[in-house]
Structure 1
Amino acid sequence: MIKKKPAACFVDNKYCPGCGHGTVNRLVGEVLEEMGVDKDAIGAIAVGCSSLMPETFAIDCIQAQHGRAAAVAVGIKRCRPDKTVFSYQGDGDALAIGFSETMYAAIRNENITVIFVNNGNFGMTGGQMAPTTLEGQKTTTSPYGRDIGTTGHPLNVIQMMENLNVAYLARGSVSNNRNIMKTKEYIRNAFEAQQNNEGYSFVEILSPCPTNWGMDPLKAMEHIENNVIKTYELGEFVKRGEKNA
């Protein structure tokens, strides 16, 4: 078996053992390099585990305020429409404090790409409940398990965006090799949509958080396969602006 060399723009990995962010970072790096735009890309980076990305990537990045990465990406793209611009965000950042920025970028069909990592909790600040936390899932702020009667159901943002005028929506996972390769395909499709000036592209990626889930890395992957995917279906939902059946 030939071991593939990481993309040149992929420098280092400072995430927890078993965390999916490192895999997602590498996929984004590989896609940017294969498309020949790694030297011409700008990332708007969220607060949280996502904020380790500038130490992982040898590309231009701007650290956004908490929840504002999509708005920062929009500002960059409007000023530099020739650049490949993306935001890199976790679920707490994009769907809690940054929900308005996330949704309004989609509503306006801004020509940016959002890479959204869903690990079901606020990873960097201690594993608190996030909008994507599953029903019954225990976190530091839901020690008895998430009660949807009190907090509402887990937030499926792709479902909310499907009827908007957007270019591309997909959800992948890094839970096994097959899903990793599909996710890479989705990331490439999202960046291609931006390059073709089609509008807003959004890729959600289901990712393990062994540290805060209290699982070893293998069990965390199995948890995604056996539980998380039941709530968050994988696939492409909008492509070229057309809703997939």
Structure 2
Amino acid sequence: MEKIYTRPKSMNPRATGYCPGCLHGVATRLICELMDEFDIQENTTSVLPIGCSSMGVFHFDTDIVISLHGRAPAVATGIKRCSPDRFVYTYQGDGDLAAIGLSEIIHAANRGENITAVFVNNSIYGMTGGQMAPTTLVGQKATTAQDGRKPEREGYPMKMCEILSQLEAPVFIARCGLDTPAHINEAKKALRKGFQNQLDKKGFSFIELMSNCPTNWGMSAEKTIQWMQENTLKTFPLGVFKEKSSGDMSR
């Protein structure tokens, strides 16, 4: 019988490093599938920060650089400018990208760097113990907000697609879900667009992938999917927030 669903060759053959039920595994596989489809594995540099995203060091079979916390866009910028023919992407979480790395991602986007930024948003600090992140929902509990996030105390969840879409330079900004097969298919289409934009030298692309965190949400994997659909995706609506046509490209 012919095998249909197999491990991408761009993915290392080992057990997952992510917690059971975590959708980081889905995001990682989508990236590896696309590297295979574009045949760019040998020419790719994966830039990973500190956090659950750094687990990608076990899974992405590419050249890899681990950056300081939040600095992945700056590191990716340096690599891409020194080696413009390489495919360079960042793979970051919300505690990394939207907190300590906020300045880095905004300025990389504002410069229109020809890189692809993949942003996995699970609304909490995952690796370090479940602290409140910039994307934690109003009322959502965390170790540093045990009675739930309150706008008057911690402000509102930061919506990175909406923020970055106000900048002139980015060519593609989209938010996708990983909660259903249909949403996963849409996520892969968005990632493919972000990959193709870089290969075509069009500029900066940003793809946000809405994920879960069974461990720090304190729920079963199945329950987190339901919670995402009833709460997270209402705060963070899915869709394309910016897409420049070929006539709009600045480079």
> TM-score interval w.r.t. the shorter chain?
over 0.9
Could you tell me which residue of structure 2 aligns to residue 86 of structure 1? 89
Could you tell me which residue of structure 1 aligns to residue 130 of structure 2? 127
Amino acid at match of 1:193: N
Amino acid at match of 2:11: F
Could you tell me which residue of structure 2 aligns to residue 43 of structure 1? 46
Please state whether the residue corresponding to 1:129 is helix, strand or coil: coil
Provide Cα deviations, 1:164-213, integer angstroms capped at 9, x if missing partner.
12111011111011111110111110011111111110000000100000
Could you tell me which residue of structure 2 aligns to residue 221 of structure 1? 225
Could you tell me which residue of structure 2 aligns to residue 9 of structure 1? 10
| Pair 1:173-2:173 in alignment | no
CA distance in 1 between counterparts of 2:233 and 2:4 reads 29
| Pair 1:19-2:27 in alignment | no
Contact kept, 8 Å, 1:198 with 1:240, in 2: the verdict is no
Provide Cα deviations, 1:76-96, integer angstroms capped at 9, x if missing partner.
000010011001100010010
Amino acid at match of 2:43: D
Amino acid at match of 1:222: Q
Deviation at 1:2, TM superposition (A): 6.6
RMSD: 1.3
Deviation at 1:56, TM superposition (A): 0.7
CA distance in 2 between counterparts of 1:9 and 1:101 reads 28
Amino acid at match of 2:121: N
Unaligned runs of 5+ in 2: none
Q: Which runs of 4+ in 1 moved over 2 A?
A: none
Amino acid at match of 1:116: F
Amino acid at match of 2:151: I
Alignment of 1:1-245 (within 5 A): 3-11=4-12, 12=14, 13-164=16-167, 165-240=169-244
Please state whether the residue corresponding to 1:122 is helix, strand or coil: coil
CA distance in 1 between counterparts of 2:4 and 2:120 reads 25
Amino acid at match of 2:128: T
**Paired residue total:** 242
CA distance in 2 between counterparts of 1:84 and 1:100 reads 23
Contact kept, 8 Å, 1:190 with 1:203, in 2: the verdict is yes
Deviation at 1:60, TM superposition (A): 0.7
Amino acid at match of 2:211: S
Deviation at 1:240, TM superposition (A): 2.9
Deviation at 1:32, TM superposition (A): 1.0
Q: Which moved more, 1:32-41 or 1:210-219?
A: 32-41
CA distance in 1 between counterparts of 2:93 and 2:178 reads 15
Deviation at 1:226, TM superposition (A): 1.3
CA distance in 2 between counterparts of 1:118 and 1:239 reads 21
CA distance in 1 between counterparts of 2:35 and 2:178 reads 18
CA distance in 1 between counterparts of 2:50 and 2:116 reads 17
Deviation at 1:137, TM superposition (A): 0.2
Percent of aligned positions that are identical = 42
